Amino acid sequence: MSDDNVREVIELVLKAVDKLPDPPRESIKREFLKVKEIIMDNRPPRIMIIGRRGAGKSSLINAIFRTRVAETGSVLSKTGKAEWHTFENTKGAMRILDTRGIGDRTKPESANFEHAIDEIKEETSKECPDAILFLCKAKEVDAHIAEDLHNVVSIRSFVAKIHKYDLPVAAAVTQVDELDPKRVEPPYNSLEKQRMMYQVRLDRN
């Protein structure tokens, strides 16, 4: 399908949405306008990556960029403040928001706020993400669940209030290599390792 065809389809959908009763007309229209903005205006999609300290947020961003753009640390938090990064190649561009650990209540020297959630809200008020990618360490899927859910709900409620947008959330489990048995290397053909990874998914869901 050509770009012109895509534009025609989007315009037809928007015209159809305008004929719907409200609600749900306005909420549906906002969703399609965001799609229109990305596709027709060539606006890079924006992904916010959140998770607890040490979940691998900065490491994932470095892997996406294939270079060290975000500091990583094995013990201390290295992300001093929420910061947008732009990834660009021949296929297009992507905006990624790197954040401090959502349970982090310390204030690094370069941070804007004491609480990471307040800093995330400040950044999302300026630039609305299209989606949240929530990272969780494989060995901590059963830890702080209630607090994690509260923080995610708080961020989504803030974005909905400021931008009138229901922010979708996708979750990813990181550091599965730390699960027992540790000496098994990717692609993890060990049945015991696979069982542990499957149990992680069940626990977090």
**Residue ranges for the chain with pLDDT beneath 50:** 73-79
Same domain, yes or no, for 150 and 96?
A: yes
Same domain, yes or no, for 118 and 35?
A: no
Q: How many structural domains compose the chain?
A: 2
Same domain, yes or no, for 23 and 84?
A: no
Residue 23: domain span = 1-43
Same domain, yes or no, for 129 and 66?
A: yes
Same domain, yes or no, for 49 and 31?
A: no
Same domain, yes or no, for 78 and 104?
A: yes
Which pLDDT score, from 0 to 100, does residue 153 have? 93
Same domain, yes or no, for 124 and 109?
A: yes
What CATH number has the domain bearing residue 55?
Answer: 3.40.50.300
Residue 184 falls within a domain, yes or no? no
Which pLDDT score, from 0 to 100, does residue 155 have? 93
Residue 118 falls within a domain, yes or no? yes
Residue 202 falls within a domain, yes or no? no
Residue 107 falls within a domain, yes or no? yes
Same domain, yes or no, for 88 and 37?
A: no
pTM check: above 0.85: no
Q: How many CB atoms lie within 10 A of CB 76?
A: 9
Residue 204 falls within a domain, yes or no? no
Residue 108 falls within a domain, yes or no? yes
Amino acid symbol at 114: E
Same domain, yes or no, for 59 and 160?
A: yes
Same domain, yes or no, for 74 and 11?
A: no
Which pLDDT score, from 0 to 100, does residue 154 have? 93
Residue 201 falls within a domain, yes or no? no
Which pLDDT score, from 0 to 100, does residue 64 have? 77
Beta-carbon-side half-sphere exposure of residue 33 (alpha carbons within 13 Å): 11
26: Cβ contacts below 8 Å, ≥ 6 apart: 164
Residue 104 falls within a domain, yes or no? yes
Which pLDDT score, from 0 to 100, does residue 76 have? 37
Same domain, yes or no, for 89 and 137?
A: yes
